[in-house]
Structure 1
Amino acid sequence: MRVLSIFFRSLTLTALGASLYIYYYTAFCGWKWKDSETRILFLADPQIEGDAKIEREGIRGNDIYIRHVYTSFVSPYSLFTHKPTHTIILGDLFSSQWTNDKEFKKRVERYKWIFGDPRGEYTHELINLTGNHDIGYGSDMSRYRVDRWEREFGKTNFGGWIPSSSLSTSEDSAKIMRHRIAVINSMNIDGPASDEDLRLETWSFLDSLAEEREQNEYDIPLILLSHIPIYKEEGLCIDGPMTIFDHNDCIKEQNHLSKNASKFILTKLKPKFIFAGHDHEGCDITHVVRIHDDDNHSLEAYRTSDFEMRKDELIGQDDSENILVVREVTVRSVMGGFEGNAGLFEIKSTITEDGNKV
């Protein structure tokens, strides 16, 4: 009996420890700098389900789980210090683009409960991206679905700035480098699409952004936000390149953007960082763009861990001016099956001896 008593006490302590970790695990997370001006919480693919698939936890349990992950970072009552200035949801808010209006409304209300701020206590800005399970791929994306989504969550293509709020003093403004952000509807970048007018809207935004970037000589760092990751070769991430077309040759399913679309993003937009969702397992890639004398480009991609080990070999000092390095992070899903993952990203500007902001 004494052995059983010790055994059950051990189980109780283990369960208690696990419960405490679940509730306070963000105390073990943190930012690199205490005085960074921008701190972003990334959450990917919550994919709020209906009654069809959730069995074990039920709808309420699933919503409570994701809400707990979110509030553990943003709530003023959580142990996580230095709250985010922004929260960005990287698409696939819902699990199906085929829901009727009644079910869509239900999921919108649940989403607002999960990520809502009923007491008006949160200080961060919330940015939503759309995903293929929100409005569909090019084959089944429609004006109706896009309008329905945009009425609740904002534009599917738009640009902004980080920091977005005006600073208190001109002295602060002089010390902080602003970053351009761009949110894109990546589900209809590649074509053909069933609604080419919607696709034209996305490309009009991309072309205008490319023109702006060229006029500004790419001086302002760009953070590109896309649900679908850009192209990389098989084996670098869990999801390799894959595109499936329907009977009308429109895109029915896609893991990565095409090579051509990805080349446009890397060579015309020249982002500093790309953040994506879609691949639930997550991935961290560094793209190397080599600019040749004839203005042609060659593209390479490496796992970031490998790139950091071989950085001196891959980027020589003599060639550094002709090389663009782009970090692409595909954020692992926040769903319970992927341990409620969250990504943290921060920006801190410093002044060099010659007065430049980096």
Structure 2
Amino acid sequence: MVPLFPWKPLLLFLSLFFYEHWISIPSCNIVPNSNLNRQENDVVEEEHDNNEVLKVMLVANLLLLGSDTSFFNLYFRDHYMSKVFKKSFYSLKPDMLLVMGDVSARGSTLTRGKWVSVLHQFHGMLGPFIELPFHVVLGDMDVGGCSGLDSNSVYWIARSFPGLDSSGCGGFDIDNVSFVSLNAVALLCGSNKLRFSVEKAVEMERIDSWMDTEKEMDDYGEFTKISDSFGRRKDSVSSGLGPVLLLHFPLHRAADNGGCKEGNIVRKAHVPLRQNLNALESSRGFTGAPYELSHTIPPNATQYIFQALKPRIVFSAHTHEFCDHTHADGTREITVPAMTWKARDDPGFVFATFRSGGNTVSVSYCSLARESHVLIAYTSILLLLLMLWLLANKPYNMCI
């Protein structure tokens, strides 16, 4: 028998171990802000270590299945994402986690018992993030489409996550940065009563912003009192000085200004975005929705949000792809990609750093390993182990 050195299988196992460690570490690249000139972008990067205020990791579309998950999802895909959360926590050292919707793959159809299993899986996947402040935005996979959107179900799901009211909206301040999250699903649903609850939440936030601005500007005599007419007020908050807005659905984009800045930072998906969205439309319950563009907030609601909140930056999700878009009024919107192999071959997430009270935001796109590459690597290693085993057990004639 040909002698087989015992270090060969050990070397392969060590290679597999280090490979698994390496692929779970995200690769992050800063996305330049087109609203800033080159010099200002350079200053932002130089101050990265000296003037950080708040570091936030944003993920989307985890699509967890709870107790209904398959063996492959549980011990491969979800296991990998758990390691990514852990490695991201220790390498990026974020102060907060934002989940931009679709925690569950089919939460709107689950019983409450099944939802509890999804929540347990979600908390287990967070790992060390469970010790940090985190906020969850509701997605259409979580609460359903317009045809099945129920206020009681939304309330039950919303109370399972911190900081959400009965309509699935929330507002909070952390390190002098204000955040507002809206139940964007309700904004697509016409006369649904949850829509009016969301609009009420927007109005309350507008009033809070007005009062804060009055307090800050009164001493300078620059404050202009707004009228009492609902929806017709002259907003005192300047554009881009409002809260950070969190939505699951992207805001409407004009046809002449609808491009996404991706460049070499973001890898393109194999399947076109529109094809992905059309395939998901019926399962998400938006067939026959009152708006033609059922994958973005309608134009009237988008305009209302801009006028009422004056967001300094918007974070959205839903499309599974990263997008850096600047609206006509200069508001920057970052669409967070899906962070799961269940949605795309090359998942990712966004890492944002807020400085100077949130007025300056540095955004990084963090990419993860492709599932196809990982499967090829694992298959190759297993085949090598099989070949070594066969060689070790194959009899040879030692005679010359």
Task: Report matched runs for 1:1-358 at 5 Å.
Answer: 18-23=19-24, 25-26=25-26, 32=45, 33-34=48-49, 35-49=51-65, 57-74=72-89, 78=90, 80-81=91-92, 83-96=93-106, 97-117=108-128, 124-153=132-161, 154-155=164-165, 156-163=168-175, 178-193=176-191, 196-215=192-211, 216=213, 217-218=236-237, 220-233=241-254, 236=259, 239=273, 254-289=294-329, 325-336=330-341, 337-349=344-356
Aligned mates of 2:152, 2:298 — CA distance in 1 = 26
Compare 26-35 and 60-69 and name the one that shifted more: 26-35
- CA shift, 1:37, in A, is 1.3
Aligned mates of 1:332, 1:248 — CA distance in 2 = 26
Aligned mates of 2:28, 2:331 — CA distance in 1 = 29
- CA shift, 1:183, in A, is 0.6
Question: Is the contact between residue 227 and residue 278 of structure 1 (CA under 8 Å) also seen in structure 2?
Answer: yes
C-alpha distance 135-268 of structure 1, shift in aligned 2 (>3 A): same
Which amino acid counterpart does residue 326 of structure 1 have in structure 2?
T
Aligned mates of 1:180, 1:328 — CA distance in 2 = 16
- CA shift, 1:147, in A, is 1.9
Aligned mates of 2:316, 2:195 — CA distance in 1 = 19
Question: Is the contact between residue 177 and residue 243 of structure 2 (CA under 8 Å) also seen in structure 1?
Answer: yes
- CA shift, 1:14, in A, is 7.4
Question: Is the contact between residue 146 and residue 289 of structure 2 (CA under 8 Å) also seen in structure 1?
Answer: no
C-alpha distance 141-61 of structure 1, shift in aligned 2 (>3 A): same
Q: Where does residue 33 of structure 2 map in the other structure? A: none
Aligned mates of 1:214, 1:254 — CA distance in 2 = 32
Structure 2 unmatched ranges of 5 or more: 3-8, 31-43, 214-235, 261-271, 362-400
C-alpha deviations, 1:71-107, integer Å up to 9, x for none?
1122xxx3x15x1111000011101111112211211
TM-score, L = length of structure 1: 0.69
Q: State the SS of the aligned residue for 2:124.
A: helix
Pairwise CA RMSD of aligned residues?
3.9
Q: State the SS of the aligned residue for 1:288.
A: coil
Structure (1/2) with the larger helix percentage? 2
Which amino acid counterpart does residue 283 of structure 1 have in structure 2?
C
Aligned mates of 1:50, 1:252 — CA distance in 2 = 33
Aligned mates of 1:127, 1:158 — CA distance in 2 = 9
Aligned mates of 1:247, 1:239 — CA distance in 2 = 18
Aligned length: 291
Structure 1 unmatched ranges of 5 or more: 2-7, 164-177, 290-324, 351-355
Q: Percent identity, aligned pairs only?
A: 18
Q: Where does residue 4 of structure 1 map in the other structure? A: none
Question: Is the contact between residue 139 and residue 185 of structure 2 (CA under 8 Å) also seen in structure 1?
Answer: yes
C-alpha distance 339-205 of structure 1, shift in aligned 2 (>3 A): same
| Structure having greater relative contact order (Cα 8 Å, sep ≥ 6) | 2
C-alpha deviations, 1:116-136, integer Å up to 9, x for none?
55xxx8653111111001111
- CA shift, 1:340, in A, is 3.8
C-alpha distance 27-10 of structure 1, shift in aligned 2 (>3 A): same
TM-score, L = length of structure 2: 0.62
Aligned mates of 2:130, 2:119 — CA distance in 1 = 20
Aligned mates of 2:289, 2:337 — CA distance in 1 = 30
Aligned mates of 1:45, 1:262 — CA distance in 2 = 22
Aligned mates of 1:268, 1:95 — CA distance in 2 = 32
Q: State the SS of the aligned residue for 2:314.
A: strand
Question: Is the contact between residue 138 and residue 252 of structure 1 (CA under 8 Å) also seen in structure 2?
Answer: no
- CA shift, 1:189, in A, is 1.2
Aligned mates of 2:294, 2:288 — CA distance in 1 = 16
Which amino acid counterpart does residue 124 of structure 2 have in structure 1?
W
Q: State the SS of the aligned residue for 1:254.
A: coil
Which amino acid counterpart does residue 159 of structure 1 have in structure 2?
G
Aligned mates of 1:162, 1:341 — CA distance in 2 = 25
Q: State the SS of the aligned residue for 1:201.
A: helix
Which amino acid counterpart does residue 157 of structure 1 have in structure 2?
C
Question: Larger radius of gyration, structure 1 or 2?
Answer: 2
Q: Where does residue 166 of structure 1 map in the other structure? A: none
Q: State the SS of the aligned residue for 2:152.
A: helix
Q: State the SS of the aligned residue for 2:148.
A: coil
